Chain A
């Protein structure tokens, strides 16, 4: 996800944190909700959905932001333990770097419920609920292939290379695209999930390969960056497909810009994590396996209007 920090994002985080500490209730105890920075709307949606569910179930949410810094995250987990949190809802700051802290919480009797990103071990967290990125990337790639008419030169913008989700999405894209010999990959670069990096990378890729007909992107912020660069270059004929299901990309799809994206139902995942924490605290079991994959949904002009804040409205 995006590393870029903005004043707006920080303000947003402050409001969220203030918003919950002033609330009464929370008779069942504290649930710590530890997330990446809210300047990416994806993480904000997760934080809000889990906060609201926790409140609804009678818990007091303790909102913390680790800024994708594993040592900061470690301190926050210690804070949660020290505050006597009943459970931790976590979108973690690193598959390997997080394990020790989650294990420490477990040893202190605080169970963790992970969303969005996995740990690289099992048996430490109670639940790990993640989007089916491989399935999502394949449906996104199918939409891309169709929009490309099964042929032409294309580019790929990849997320941060060290991130599991960057790898798995790229593998999913290629599981589909590589079936079409007339689709030629002319450029493949990482823009680290970042909109500004994607803008710069798109500009340079376009200069080197003006014949590019499409760009498939590992997330929506990069898709937005690529689309902005294409617009600036007068190349709105280029087909762009993203991944995440952000409201920004939804607007672009509805106005005939970006062609498609893939929704990760992250608000639903956040609610599931809180529900499972609640079930675990009450009964000692979530009734689910630790590792859970949630299928993604293709977003195109015909269903984009139903998308709001990473949820599909009925």
Chain B
């Protein structure tokens, strides 16, 4: 019994010594690993309502650097039916040409939903890989739902879209949707 205790104590001591640098760092890293899926599910659940609440009306040609929530209504002038990236081109001002492209995935580019929501920031994650995966997980969930809802929307339909984009391009706005519904 005594011997066991002594061996255990020794093992613990030895363990402590090894713990000092690399191991301590690794342990600290493991202890803080973010629950990315959990955070994404939590964010995705409230995202459409939150973005709808703070969305500004879409203006073609607007400039900016940061992702913002936006609401746009218009007519679908084209549907691109790529297997990996379906999208709707929308004319918002009635001039017959598209001012916005709404991406429906399944491969979604950008992090604008995450950034416009702003629920968790880079400071909430241990690495930019986690932060990027969190954005992707939100895209998968939210755009996945929108894609299902938009399955019947075709060319000529009038739609209202709430989403997010970075208003910095000279050309067509590239919007990631949080909600699409038929408009009058």
Chain A positions near chain B (C-beta within 8 angstroms)? 74, 95-101, 118, 120-122, 130, 132-135, 138, 164, 167-168, 171-172, 175-176, 178-181, 289-293, 295
Contact = CB atoms under 8 A, between A and B. Distances in A.
Contacts of A293: 122, 128, 131
B22 A121 contact: no
By CB atoms of chain B within 10 A, which of A95, A134, A293 has the most?
A134
27 contacts: A95-B29, A95-B127, A96-B26, A96-B29, A97-B22, A98-B25, A99-B29, A100-B21, A100-B22, A100-B24, A118-B128, A120-B29, A120-B127, A133-B128, A134-B131, A167-B129, A171-B133, A175-B136, A176-B109, A178-B107, A179-B85, A180-B85, A181-B83, A289-B123, A290-B123, A293-B122, A293-B128
| Interchain residue pairs A-B with the least CB separation, the first 8 | A99-B25, A179-B85, A134-B132, A100-B21, A289-B123, A120-B29, A179-B107, A291-B122
A134 B128 contact: yes
B82 interface: yes
Given A121-B25, A121-B29, A134-B128, 20 more contacts: A74-B21, A95-B29, A96-B26, A96-B29, A97-B21, A99-B29, A100-B20, A118-B127, A118-B128, A121-B126, A133-B128, A138-B109, A164-B129, A168-B132, A171-B129, A175-B108, A179-B82, A179-B84, A180-B85, A181-B84
A216 to B, nearest CB: 15
Contacts of B28: 99, 121
B58 interface: no
Nearest to A131: B128
Contacts of A95: 29, 127
B132 A171 contact: yes
A132 to B, nearest CB: 7
A180 B83 CA distance: 9
A74 B21 CA distance: 10
Nearest to B32: A121
A295 B124 CA distance: 18
B16 to A, nearest CB: 14
Nearest to B125: A291
B110 interface: yes
B176 interface: no
A120 B131 CA distance: 12
